[in-house]
Amino acid sequence: MEGDRIEEVTLVHSPVDEISHLALDIGGSLIKMVYFSTSREQPIDKTQNNSSRDSHGGVSRGSKDGRLLNGRLYFLKFETSKINECLDFISSKQLHYRGHQHCGFPASDKNIIKATGGGAFKFADLFKEKLGISLDKVEEMSSLVSGANFLLKAVPSEAFTYVNGQRNYVQIDHNDLYPYLLVNIGSGVSMIKVDGDGKYERVSGTSVGGGTFWGLGKLLTKCKSFDDLLEMSHQGNNRVIDMLVGDIYGGMDYLKIGLSSTAIASSFGKAVSENRELEEYRPEDVARSLLRMISNNIGQIAYLNALRFGLKKIFFGGFFIRGHAYTMDTISVAVDFWSKGEAKAMFLRHEGFLGALGAFMNYQLVEEFPDSIRLMGEKTRDPLVGDLTDNGVIECCVQASN
C-alpha cells in the first residue's frame, strides 16, 4: 500500500471535518477512492458577499439552483491485493458513517456506497461482512465516461498533449467535445467511443495493458514496486534488446515504407540472436523495452479504433500512465506516426480517477446539475502542476440541490 502517502493526505483532515459521499472504483490492480469533505477550519471567502457558514462549517452560498459548498475532494488509492488496508482505512475514519446527512447534501442512505469496477461485485460480501456496507454498483464503462466527461467539461487545463517533452494544455470547446475515443489503460485496456453524456460504446479492448507491464516487469527485473519499474525504464536504453530496422538493414533507413533505421523492427528481438541470459541484461534496459512495447501497441490499437470511427481526439486515462514522460511520449509518437499527424493523443491530469469520480457523480446530488462540481485546485496551487497521479486533495465547490 502507499500507506505513508495516505497518512500525508489524511493529516489534512481535522476531526471536525464533515465527510460525505464516498465512492470507490475497485479494479484488478488498484482501488481508487474519492470522497468529499467540508472543513470547519476553512476560511470564508470574504469577497463573496452572499456567503454564510452552514450549520456544519462548510461555506455555503444560496443560488437559484441550489447550494454551493466549498470543500475538498480527497483522492486515494490502495492495492486491490491489500484490500484489507482499504477496509481498515474506511473503518478508522468512519467514512461510511460520517456526514451523510451533513454538508447540505440530500441525505444518502447510511452504509450504502457507490462502487464501480469488477471489485464491486467480487468484494461485495467482504464489505458487508467487515463493515456492514452495501455496495451500490455503478457500471464500470459508464463511470469511466461520466468521470471523463465531467473532468473535460468542468476542470480547466485537464487535458494536454505531450510532444517533444512538452505538455501543451488543450482548451476544451464544450460544443465540440464529442465524439472522442477514451482509452482507459488499467490492468487491461478499454477503448470507448464517447458521443455525449451517457452516450457511449465500448468498441475495443486489449489484455496487453498496465497489468502486463507490471507483471512482466516484475518477473523480468525482480523490481519490488511499480514506481521502481517506471524509474528503471527511465534510466534504460531499449536499443540494447529491441531489434531496430537498422540492425536488419545494416544501419540504413527503410524509407520506402516509412521506417527510419532507429525504428523498432521487433520488440525484444535482439535477445534471440545474442544468446545472453536475462541476468546479463541491465534491468533498466529490459524495463525500457517493455514499456516501449506496451505503450506503442496501445497507441497503435487506439489509433486503429479512432480510424475505424473517424475520431480525431483520443484521450488516454488509467493508472498505467502515471504522468510518466516516456510512456506519454511513446503513445503520442505512435498515434502521430500511424495517423500521419491526423489524430491527437491527449492525456488527463486526473488519469487514474475517472471511474471513481464517475461513481461519485452517480450520487443524486449532481443529478440535476451534471456540471456543477467544480474542482478548483487552482485556488490553492498552480493548476499546471496539480496532477493527480497519486493520492491527493483538491479544493472544490459542489452544487447540491435540496
Ligand X SMILES: CC(C)(CO)[C@@H](O)C(=O)NCCC(=O)O
For residue 99, is it left (φ>0), alpha (ψ between -120 and 50) or beta? left
> Of the ranges 82-90, 199-207, 287-295, 318-326, which one interacts with ligand X (CB under 6 A)?
199-207
With CB cut-offs between 5 and 8 Å by kind, which of ligand ATP, ligand X, none does residue 79 bind?
ligand ATP
With CB cut-offs between 5 and 8 Å by kind, which of ligand X, ligand ATP, none does residue 319 bind?
ligand ATP
Nearer to ligand ATP by Cβ, of 71 and 317: the residue is 317
Rounded CA gap, 50 and 373, in Å? 19
With CB cut-offs between 5 and 8 Å by kind, which of ligand X, ligand ATP, none does residue 207 bind?
ligand X
- 296 — phi, psi (to 5°)? -60, -45
Q: How far, CA to CA in Å, does 81 sit from each of 85, 126, 143, 308, 353?
A: 9, 13, 22, 37, 18
Residue selected from 104, 188, 317, 323 as contacting ligand X according to rule CB under 6 A: 188
Q: Does 206 help bind ligand X (rule: CB under 6 A)?
A: yes
For residue 160, is it left (φ>0), alpha (ψ between -120 and 50) or beta? beta
Rounded CA gap, 305 and 191, in Å? 8
With CB cut-offs between 5 and 8 Å by kind, which of ligand X, ligand ATP, none does residue 89 bind?
none
Question: Which amino acid is it at 350?
Answer: H
Q: Does 161 help bind ligand X (rule: CB under 6 A)?
A: no
Nearer to ligand X by Cβ, of 58 and 211: the residue is 211
| Per-position b or e across 263-302, b if 16+ CB within 10 A of its CB | ebbebbbbbeeeeeeeeebebbbbbbbbbbbbbbbbbebb
Nearer to ligand ATP by Cβ, of 99 and 186: the residue is 186
Considering only CA atoms, which of 351, 333, 363 is closest in space to residue 390? 351
Q: Does 190 help bind ligand X (rule: CB under 6 A)?
A: yes
Q: How far is the CB of 4 from ligand ATP (least distance, A)?
A: 12
Q: Does 296 help bind ligand X (rule: CB under 6 A)?
A: no
Q: How far is the CB of 352 from ligand ATP (least distance, A)?
A: 5
- 95 — phi, psi (to 5°)? -65, -25
Residue selected from 12, 51, 91, 118 as contacting ligand X according to rule CB under 6 A: 118
Whether the CB-CB separation of 365 and 400 falls below 8 Å is answered with yes
Residue selected from 87, 189, 294, 298 as contacting ligand X according to rule CB under 6 A: 189
Binding residues (CB under 6 A) for ligand ATP: these are: 27-30, 79, 117-118, 186-188, 210-211, 213-214, 226, 318-320, 322, 352
Residue selected from 42, 146, 149, 187 as contacting ligand X according to rule CB under 6 A: 187
Q: Does 386 help bind ligand X (rule: CB under 6 A)?
A: no
Residue selected from 175, 207, 275, 402 as contacting ligand X according to rule CB under 6 A: 207
Whether the CB-CB separation of 2 and 330 falls below 8 Å is answered with no
Cell 498533449 sits at which residue?
161
Q: How far is the CB of 110 from ligand ATP (least distance, A)?
A: 27
- Taking each helix axis from N to C end, the angle separating 283-309 and 325-339, rounded to the nearest 10 degrees, works out to 40
Residues near ligand X (CB under 6 A) are 27-28, 118, 140, 186-190, 205-207
